């Protein structure tokens, strides 16, 4: 069984509010500002999540 890494202090790159990693598993949309985090301008954010999680 693979243990997942927990993100502490993960924030939305658009509004700077804290993100819940469980919510990100369901959909990549910020619950605070409704920003779709799959947009090309957030590519570095997505790469960070893939490399660390």
| Three-state SS annotation for 11-41 | ECCCCCCECCHHHHHHCCECCCCCCECCCHH
Domain regions of the chain by residue span: 21-52
- pLDDT one digit per residue (tens) for the chain, 53 residues: 555 555 567 899 999 999 988 888 889 999 999 999 999 999 998 888 888 86
């Amino acid at each position: 069984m693979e243990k997942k890494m927990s993100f502490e202090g993960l924030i939305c790159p658009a509004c700077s509010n804290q993100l819940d990693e469980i919510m990100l598993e369901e959909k990549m949309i910020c619950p605070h500002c409704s920003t779709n985090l799959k947009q090309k301008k957030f590519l570095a954010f997505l790469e960070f999540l893939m490399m660390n999680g």
